[in-house]
Structures are given as C-alpha cells and as structure tokens.
Amino acid sequence: MELEDQWWKGQLAADIYQALRCKELKLPSYKGQSPQLNLRRYFADLIAIICNRFCLCPAARHLAVYLLDLFMDRYDVTMQQLHIVSLSCLLLASKFEEREDRVPKLETLNSLGCMSSMNLVLTKQGLLHMELLLLETFSWNLYLPTAAHFIDYYLSVGVLDGDLHDGWPMASLEKTKLYMAKYADYFLEVSLQDHIFLCFAPSLVAAACVAASRLILHLSPSWPARLQRLTGYAWENLTPCAEKLLIAHDSDVKEANKQQCLQQQQSQALLHSSGQPAAASQFLQLPSMQFPQKALQAGPAAGHRSASYLQGPAGPQQSDTQASAACLDPKPGVPSRAYPVSMHYSYQAPCFDR
C-alpha cells in the first residue's frame, strides 16, 4: 500500500482512513502461540535497527514486524531460519511501503556489521524462496494496516490552539506539535516491543499513543472531543492500552536515570582516586550519557530495548535534536507504579518554556 506523502492532509484523507478501518476488521487472528515467542523482541530489534540504517518509513518497519509475528504464530522454525524470515519480512514490507530506490539491496544487507556478527550470508535464491513462502502464507495480501498507518492522521489534530498546558495557553504551538510528534513516535516504537499490543486494534494503539503523549505533556483536555470524533474511541476504550505504554515509559526513565547516576559515580570515583592520572582505558570504559545501546546477541536479554528507541521520547534522531528535546526529558526519580490513567493524570510533566 504505497500512499502519497502526507495523505492525511489531502481531500481523500477521510476516505483512506475509513478504508484502513474497514481493512483492520479483517486482519488475520493472532494467538501468541509461537514456540519461539521469547525470541520475538530480539528479531523486532533486528528489524528496527536495519530499518533505521536504511531510513525506512515507520509503516514499513511496523508491517515487517507484523508479518514476522503472524509467521511465527503459524510455524515452528529454527533460530537460523528466523533470521532469514525476519529479513525477508523486512524486504517484503519495504517493497510494499517504500519507493523502489529505497528498498535495501542484497549486497548492502550482506555488508552490514550485524550480518557478519551473526555469521549470516543471504543469497538471492534463499530470499526469493522465503518471500514466496511468506506471500503464500498471507495469500499474497500485504494490505495489513498497523498502528503506524493511523498515527499521522490522528496527529493532524493532536494539538490545536485551544489546548492548554497545565491550565495555561501554550507558549508555542509549533514547539508543542514537535514534542507531541516525538512522544507519539516513541510510544509507537514501544508498541512494537511486546506482542501484547497485538491484542488491540492497530487504530486503537495509534490513538493510545496520542493519548499517552498528551498525558505526558500535560495537555488538557487529555482526550478532547475532536480526537474522540476522529478516532471513534472514547477515553475508556484507550485506558488499557495507554496504561501499558506509560508503564513502559516509566521503565525507560528509571533505566536512564540509573545509567546517568552510575556514570556520575564512576566519574567522581576517578576524580577522587589516589591522585594518579587515570589511564585512558579507564575513561574509554565509562558508560555513555545516553541510553545503553547493546550489541545484538544470540537472544534477547530481559528488559532489552532496540537502539532505535533506547534514547527515550526524543526518538531515534536524538543526536540532531538533543538541545531542543532536553526540556522534554521527564523528571528523575519516577516511582515504579501502575499509572493512574484518568482525566486527572498526576504524573510529573516535562517542562515548557513560557
């Protein structure tokens, strides 16, 4: 489904949206019965990393993971085969969602560092065979809406002039829209990390991403009437999904604060050492100020998140927007608790310049 850029702003936006909503009613059922379900996050991370490497659109990334989920749910395959399956899902999704010149080439894929670390070499015949198997599995139908297909349509009215921040008019509508888009993108990537989100309709997940972003930014009303009309979801419909997204956000914030405190403690320990100059190797071993980005291993580690969104709400392009996104970072010391997802959300919100 190759849609024009920014279709949600065109005259056919409502028609396209209704077509997507109708199509999601016919999505294949997902039972979560794969024997390799514990490996899912690892392969979702692999797809996300390669998608970021080739700057593929979110729709291609989400479709690739969804194809992988459906295939794993139906077949029992080995670890080595799952590597080929996940990359074949990525290629099929990129061919379906991207322009032809943006589809990763076989030679480029084999030259990636992660491919050599996995001791994996793709062949043209092997990929063609797997792509045919995937297409036959899905009856040659890749028109499968994901949350990424809905998010931009919802964000088109995600923030408007009449919204308030902590009860006050917004200082900058454009700045708020930028933060809103970054948080929505972050929550959208969080939804890829756990197969539990497949229990919700893709349009509901996208709406919950917008709702969670408005809660984090302390925008009121939390779920305005315009969003309820546009999405077709009332606040009560979004609560279960939004709560899971916010709990994942809480976990990421705690991990970021933990890593930052560890870095500061090690820096202070080096400064207050016996007075001898520290070896260069000591400084090279200091953890980064950013979220940890571990190399892909043979299997997923507990609590592991892909490098594409380990950098928090600022999204995968944090290095380019670090200064502007600094005030978006939530306050440290957020307790571990279930989020009270209500119209009076009590979470400490990020700061805005007034």
Domain map (residue ranges) of the chain: 29-138, 147-249
Peptide bond between residue 221 and the one before it cis (omega within 30 degrees of 0): yes
Closest of 172, 216, 206, 251 to residue 349, by C-alpha: 216
Q: How many other β-carbons are positioned within 10 Å of the β-carbon of residue 216?
A: 24
Would the CATH topology of 29-138 be identical to that of 147-249? Answer: yes
CA angle 179/185/186 to nearest 5° reads 90
CB 58 within 8 A of CB 104: no
pLDDT, residue 311, reads: 34
d(CA 277, CA 315): 37
Residue with tokens 């307790």, as numbered in its chain: 335
Peptide bond between residue 313 and the one before it cis (omega within 30 degrees of 0): no
d(CA 68, CA 64): 6
pLDDT, residue 271, reads: 73
Q: Which fold has domain 29-138?
A: Cyclin A; domain 1 (1.10.472)
Look up residue 18 and give its two tokens.
Answer: 């209704």
d(CA 115, CA 104): 14
Instruction: Profile the chain (354 residues) by mean pLDDT over runs of 10 residues.
Output: 60 88 93 89 92 92 96 87 91 92 86 72 86 92 94 93 89 92 95 94 97 94 94 95 94 89 82 53 37 38 36 37 38 36 39 36
Residue with tokens 């396209």, as numbered in its chain: 16
3-state secondary structure of 169: strand
In the CATH hierarchy, which top-level class contains the domain 147-249?
A: mainly alpha
3-state secondary structure of 327: helix
Q: Is the entire prediction scored with pTM above 0.75?
A: no
d(CA 104, CA 318): 24
Q: Is the dihedral of CA 331, 333, 337, 340 positive or negative?
A: negative
Look up residue 324 and give its two tokens.
Answer: 């502007």
Closest of 196, 217, 250 to residue 31, by C-alpha: 196
pLDDT, residue 301, reads: 38
**Residue 214: CB partners within 8 Å, gap ≥ 6?**
158, 159, 180, 222, 223
Distances from the Cα of 244 to the Cα of 196, 208, 329, angstroms: 9, 10, 19
Query: Which class for 210: exposed (0-12), middle (13-18), buried (19 or more C-beta within 10 A)?
Result: buried
d(CA 155, CA 230): 10
Distances from the Cα of 41 to the Cα of 118, 305, 320, angstroms: 16, 8, 27
pLDDT, residue 80, reads: 79
3-state secondary structure of 19: helix
Q: How many other β-carbons are positioned within 10 Å of the β-carbon of residue 322?
A: 12
